[in-house]
Structure formats: structure tokens, C-alpha cells
A = this chain, B = another copy of it.
Amino acid sequence: MNLRHMGILILMACALASGAVGAEDAARWQPLPTVAPAPADNPTTPAKVRLGKMLFFDPRLSSTGTVSCFSCHNVMEGGDDHRPVSIGVEARRGERNAPTVWNAAFLSVQFWDGRAATLEDQAKGPLVNPLEMGMTSLRAQIFRIQRIPGYRPYFEKAFGPGNVVSMDNAAKAIAAYERTLITPGSPYDRYVEGDHSALTARQVRGMRTFAAVGCASCHQGPNFSGPPLPLGQGFFVKFPLYPQSPYVAKYGLMKDLGRYDVTHHPAEKNVWRVPGLRNLVYTAPYMHNGSVKTLPEAVRVMASTELNRTLTAEQVGDITVFLEALTGPFPRQTMPRLPPTPGDLLGR
């Protein structure tokens, strides 16, 4: 069974389940693991994480030398870029809201449309996207990195001696760093691990409402992005499921066809990977098009478009304060030191 079919199956299962999963089933609440899973061919090592952090923060990986992974995935804040849609090299606007890199390691597929199976694959996308980092090819990208001689020792520490300054290794290192960008230990996590003082009474009520009204049908699992699946097997849903919702026109939610643009399968029009819900306090504005500006409005939109429900003001408020309990803590990070630039690396 290939990735696409798995995606469709899960989409169908999810749609069927949305009425059936009640508070009890959904209440198998899970804390975030304290270590992110890594693929067998890229175990996380300190040397890879160190190199990956350097590459993640290095704007010289873009055509103009001005845009790094960090530019749109600001790990000093919400792991996104605060904007409705991102701005890449030469001020080019992207078409979708930058997803947070925090806890991306727990997603079974990457990008809003799930078109990359792993963080390793994902890392290569923005580098050569003309609207993002704008390099003409991955070959041009690794040539750029090779022209910064100070990188070689870090590649060798991470991958051994030899011809190791390669694009695959750069992507592996970036992915290894991203697997350290996780936020276990939020008030929610502490609560489900037994510290009942970690949530307020209203947050606990919001947690129950979140399950009872059906949010947890899709937003389940430790990252609230769906059940654990093998890497590369995506948990997708149709969004909006109820196109008659007034929010659909208001926020232009059907304009982008999502996964259909990857697979061209008619059943996957407006199908999306289920995003996680952690650190939403930091990731406004919301939705794939960045059209929804506040968290309470995002709760109303999702209830209407996915569950065909109009929540009461109290329910919206309760769910919102529960979602706020999924925030942080963010690991303390030191800044990387980047190697020097040859003076002819970048043109005007």
C-alpha cells in the first residue's frame, strides 16, 4: 500500500470516526515523548545536531544569502514566521502559512500537503523553492556549502572522513537538529503524567470539551496531529468537511486544493495533513492560508467546518484555555558559530 492510498484510507477512517469517538476513547491522553524518533539511517548524534543547527541558521544557504531555515521557522519564538504567508528571497510571497518546526519531528509526513515523508526530505524542499530560499538546484546548494571551507570539519565530525560534504548529509544534519526542537513538559503533559495541579479547572473542562465535541477525533496522539504512524504514512483529513460553513467563504478555505496538487487524485481535493496543536499561542495567524487571526476564532472555524457544530462562547473559551496549556517549555539553546564567508560567495 503506497503513501497516497494510506492517506486516503486514514482520511476516510477519520471522517467516519468523527461522530463515533466520544470523550472516553479520545481521552487516552498522551504526553509528548522526551526524545523524538529518528529513522534507522539517521540516528541523532551530538555532532549531527551541532552541524544541523549551523546549517539551519545559515542564510548563505539561500540564493541571496539572506534567508535561512530560521527565517521562516523562528525557533526563538513559535517556530514559524508570524506572517499569514512567508516571504522568501527577492521578497517573493509564498502561498501557505509556514508550519512550526517545533515538534515537527513527531509528524509522520511533512509540509501542509504531506508531500515529504521525512524531515530529511523536507529540508531539501525550501532550499530550491524559488519562492523560498531560491537556489537553482540541490547541486548548486551543496556547491555553495562546499565553498565555505569551515564547514568541512563539522561534516567530518558528523559523518566521518571522505567525500561527506553532500546534500544528503546536510539534510540529515538539519533533520537531526530539528529532532531536538521538541517541547515536552507543557502544563498538559505534566497533568497527564499525574500532576493534577498543572492545569486549571477551566483547562480541564476545556480538555473534556475538546474530546466531547469531536476535536480529538483527528487531533489525537501526543502531538495532537493524529495517531502514531510509521514515518511517511500520513494522517490526512478533508478540510473543510462541511463546505457550507460560512467560514469557508469568509476565510477562503477552499481556494488551495492541498494534497490534490501533489497527487492529482480527485478524492484528495482540499485534503491536508492534520497539524499538531502545540504552542498555538505562538503560531498565529492560523490555517494553511494564515487567514484566521485568533485562537478562539480558529476553534470556531474548525468546529464549524470539520464537525458541523456551532460551539457556545463558553465552550470556545474553555477549549482555548486548554490549548494554551499545550505551550512550551522551550529548550534553552546556544547560538551556533558559523564559519567565515569567502568574499566572492555572494553577488550584489
Contacts and interface: CB of A to CB of B under 8 A. Distances in A.
B330 A337 contact: yes
A330 B339 CA distance: 12
A255 interface: no
Interface in A321-348: 330, 332-348
A84 B348 contact: yes
- What number of copies of this chain does the assembly contain? 2
A313 interface: no
A343 B91 contact: no
A337 B77 contact: yes
Interface stretch (A106-114, A198-206, A228-236, A285-293): A285-293
Contact of A77 (B71, B90, B294, B338): B338
A77 to B, nearest CB: 4
Given A293-B344, A346-B82, A75 B284 contact: no
A236 to B, nearest CB: 25
A334 B76 CA distance: 10
A267 B337 CA distance: 42
Nearest to A284: B343
Interface stretch (A6-14, A60-68, A170-178, A207-215): A60-68
A26 to B, nearest CB: 27
Given A91-B89, A333-B334, A341 B282 contact: yes
Contact of A83 (B77, B90, B342, B346): B346
A85 interface: yes
A23 to B, nearest CB: 29
A340 B282 contact: yes
Interface in A182-234: none
Contacts of A333: 334-335
A59 interface: yes
A154 to B, nearest CB: 14
A334 B337 contact: no
Q: How large is the interface on A (under 10, 10 to 19, 20 to 34, 35 or more residues)?
A: 35 or more
A348 B93 contact: yes
A343 B292 contact: yes
Interface string A77-121: 110011111010111010000000000000000000000000000
29 contacts: A59-B71, A59-B74, A59-B82, A60-B82, A64-B91, A65-B83, A66-B81, A66-B87, A74-B338, A76-B335, A76-B336, A76-B338, A77-B337, A78-B340, A78-B341, A82-B341, A82-B345, A83-B346, A84-B346, A84-B348, A85-B348, A284-B341, A285-B344, A286-B343, A293-B342, A330-B337, A332-B334, A332-B335, A333-B335
Given A65-B82, A65-B83, A282-B340, 12 more contacts: A57-B76, A64-B87, A76-B335, A77-B339, A77-B340, A78-B341, A82-B345, A85-B348, A93-B348, A330-B337, A332-B335, A333-B335
Q: State the 7 A-B residue pairs at the shortest beta-carbon distance, nearest first.
A: A284-B343, A293-B343, A285-B343, A91-B91, A82-B341, A77-B338, A90-B91
Interface of A: 57, 59-60, 64-66, 71, 74-78, 81-85, 87, 89-91, 93, 281-282, 284-286, 292-294, 330, 332-348
